[in-house]
Amino acid sequence: MQFHHHGYVSGDPRVLPAAGVGIDRPDELPDEVDVLIVGSGPAGMIAAAQLSRFPTITTRIVERRPGRLAIGQADGIQARSVETFNAFGFAERITAEAYRITEMAFWKPDIDNPSRIVRGARPLDDTTGVSEYPHLIVNQARVLDYFAEYMANAPTRMRPDYGWAFQGLEIDDTAEYPVAVTLLDSSDDSTGGTRTVRAKTVRAKYVIGADGARSGVRQAIGCTLAGDQANHAWGVMDALAVTDFPDIRTKCAIQSGSGGSILLIPREGGHLFRMYVDLGEVPAGGGAAVRSTSIEQIIEHANAILSPYRLDVKHVAWHSVYEVGHRLTDRFDDVPLDELGTRTPRVFITGDACHTHSAKAGQGMNVSMQDGFNLAWKLGHVLEGRSPESLLATYSAERQVVAQDLIDFDREWSTLMAKRPEEFADPSELADFYVRTAEFPAGFMTEYAASAIVGEATHQHLATGFPLGKRFKSVLTSRVADANHVHLGHHATADGRWRLYVFADGASPVAGRSAELAAWLQDAPESPLNHVPDGVRADDWFDVKVVYQEHHTDIDLGTVPQVFLPRVGPFDLVDYEKVYAVHPEVDIFEERGIDRDGAIVVVRPDQYVAHVLPLTATAELAAFFDGVMGREATTPA
């Protein structure tokens, strides 16, 4: 964490100075905003948190609830999400309070006595080292709390506007604020008298619908969910219990001889756990009866599956019954498919508003947050004039593919979980699937296709460990200025900046291709760093770092090009946290297959690799950012 570049401040460095629209921010919901977010679930809150870093953009997030969420239904936090939390500054704190999954136990019927269950496989949760971050379990409400804290501490001083329910919207593309959203005051009347329902119209340049599976925003723009109807029911409960089941504090998939199954997920705090209890197939027209299953019946089912073990439930914090269905919208914005490319999307949907599936793969909250992260920086860049409006079309194009992949994975996982033991060709089939597909539920299978913001793989061989379109996988390095061993990717915060990682060739900092690239980045008229507006520093839009092949003791900061030591803050202080060397035990060049002649790795604000180029490919780098920034490929006057 870097601070004091504006002068010494005694206090919490996470609280950034108020700026722009955050100065004297009004309590009342404005009549006009740049972005209106409907719904304060994970997708909405991460979008708001990202946009809170853009001081010139007026963003408000409305929620029909009267206040913060107390008990959330989602709880699984994949490693990719923890990486994202690090960018928002709370990965360490939420990890400290969460339950950490390190392995998963698979229980099955005893061959000699199928009325009893016995432990089978017990694989590690991450067998390949896919991330340095853990797989966590923590209440969704706490995730939202951390995003709310981040927003409140950001320059815009954003906070949710509770007590407003979405009623409808109209779009007029000729207006400065094209989307007129009607909201109803859903707050309680504290006077005890006759309640008058208050309506309000908010006009916005863009609207994000993050209002859940029954999304009113989705309906307003004519999108419908299509896919498999639900045909299998599960009872779920968060409970405190006394039990002789030995793995009550281990994530378990439990299959009984009777055919029922349980997914057991220990919760944070050391005592609470969640159980998804198989209630069987839903007969035609029998949905209402299944949904009326009582908590007592759910507990009875759980005990039958756990035999010979017993579960004495002492307290139930929350319970529900749901039916598994897999559904997806045909688009994630308000532009009909036959009008793609003809107009700018104005309304977007995220999370459960555009994809629904079972909860057992632990993907809902995680994928929803990546929806919000993907969209929010793009809106920020368009509204600030960093990129053209055409950037916004990439949201639906990128995230719909991810949602389809999620539904395909979850359909297979939930089908396996619902199988009777005798239906498996191999008793280890469920455990084998869990191990084989570990990268997907960890959140690392997303791979965006080539587009205006993901380059072609022409030079992928220069950095094979940073695949184009996939998230930037961090590696340990040594920071030259202070000899600290740090993960290179952990310094990337959710500040909306593009990142250029220059992996130097073997020459010294004052010679070779990396030095020539540094001079071009600093001085060339066509360099993207020289296309920022007046009054904006290049470092405000571009985070440029260098990684040398030598050890830190062999690098003299006095010889490092100035583009890697930018000036920051009102005092023009030097930022010394841009220059890195190889870790004494982990060579990032070997770990990520980086060519010894060097490479440029371009990373998007949402942490996905956008381009891999040779150090000499300045024309290609300029052309890529000309597209990103909506510029003609000409030398500025």
Query: How does pLDDT run across 503-521, given as a tens digit for each residue?
Result: 999 878 888 999 999 999 9
Rounded distance between C-alpha atoms, residue 1 and residue 5, angstroms:
11
Reported confidence tier of residue 637, pLDDT bands at 50, 70, 90? very low
**pLDDT at residue 418, rounded to an integer:** 67
Strand partners, 500: 544, 602
Structure tokens at 275: 């159980």
Contact 263, 275 (CB under 8 A): yes
Q: If you average pLDDT over every residue of the chain, what do you get?
A: 90
Closest C-alpha to 57, from 37, 86, 84, 38: 37
The superfamily (CATH) of domain 100-137+230-323 is D-Amino Acid Oxidase, subunit A, domain 2 (3.30.9.10)
Instruction: Report which of residues 340 and 55 the model is more confident about.
Output: 55
Closest C-alpha to 37, from 52, 22, 24: 52
**pLDDT at residue 224, rounded to an integer:** 86
Scanning 240-294, the segments in alpha helix (DSSP H) are: 287-291
Least confident interval from 192-196, 528-532, 594-598: 192-196
**pLDDT at residue 341, rounded to an integer:** 82
Rounded distance between C-alpha atoms, residue 86 and residue 494, angstroms:
9
**pLDDT at residue 19, rounded to an integer:** 95
Q: pLDDT digits over 551-609, tens only?
A: 999 999 999 999 999 999 999 999 999 999 999 999 999 999 999 999 999 999 999 99
Q: pLDDT digits over 413-459, tens only?
A: 777 766 776 677 776 777 777 666 667 666 778 999 999 999 999 99
The predicted model gives 467-487 an average pLDDT of 96
Closest C-alpha to 125, from 435, 499, 453, 579: 435
**pLDDT at residue 636, rounded to an integer:** 34
**pLDDT at residue 635, rounded to an integer:** 40
Q: Is the pLDDT of residue 621 over 90?
A: yes
Closest C-alpha to 328, from 455, 469, 223, 220: 223
Tell me the three-class secondary structure of 296-348, residue by residue.
Answer: HHHHHHHHHHHCCCCEEEEEEEEEEEEECCEEECCCCECCCHHHCCCCCCCEE
The domain segmentation of the chain, as residue ranges, is 16-98+139-229+326-410, 100-137+230-323, 457-629
Q: Is the pLDDT of residue 64 over 70?
A: yes
**pLDDT at residue 6, rounded to an integer:** 83
Contact 618, 517 (CB under 8 A): yes
Concatenating the DSSP letter of every residue in 39-98 gives --SHHHHHHHHHHTT-TT--EEEEESSSS--SS-S--EE-HHHHHHHHHTT-HHHHHHHS
**pLDDT at residue 213, rounded to an integer:** 86
Q: pLDDT digits over 256-296, tens only?
A: 987 789 999 999 999 999 999 988 877 666 666 777 899 99
Rounded distance between C-alpha atoms, residue 575 and residue 5, angstroms:
9
Say if strands 104-109 and 199-209 run parallel, antiparallel, or are unpaired: unpaired
Least confident interval from 4-18, 276-290, 327-341, 584-598: 276-290
Closest C-alpha to 331, from 345, 343, 318, 317: 345
**pLDDT at residue 360, rounded to an integer:** 55
DSSP letter (8 states) at residue 195: P
pTM reported for the whole predicted model: 0.92
Q: Is the pLDDT of residue 631 over 80?
A: yes
Q: Which amino acid is at 93?
A: R
Reported confidence tier of residue 83, pLDDT bands at 50, 70, 90? very high
**What size, in residues, is the chain?**
637
Rounded distance between C-alpha atoms, residue 331 and residue 337, angstroms:
8
Q: pLDDT digits over 113-171, tens only?
A: 999 999 998 988 877 777 899 999 998 999 999 999 999 999 999 999 999 999 999 99
**pLDDT at residue 287, rounded to an integer:** 64
Q: Is the pLDDT of residue 14 over 60?
A: yes
CATH architecture of 16-98+139-229+326-410: 3-Layer(bba) Sandwich (3.50)
- Report the first-to-last Cα separation within the chain, whole angstroms: 38
* Percent of the chain residues past pLDDT 90, beyond the cut: 72
Q: In sequence order, what E strands does 422-511 have?
A: 476-479, 485-487, 498-503
Write the burial class of residue 552 (CB in 10 Å: 0-12 exposed, 13-18 middle, 19+ buried). buried
Q: Is the pLDDT of residue 338 over 90?
A: no
DSSP letter (8 states) at residue 54: -
Contact 282, 233 (CB under 8 A): yes
DSSP letter (8 states) at residue 271: S
CATH number of 457-629: 3.40.30.20
* Domain 457-629 in the same topology as domain 100-137+230-323: no
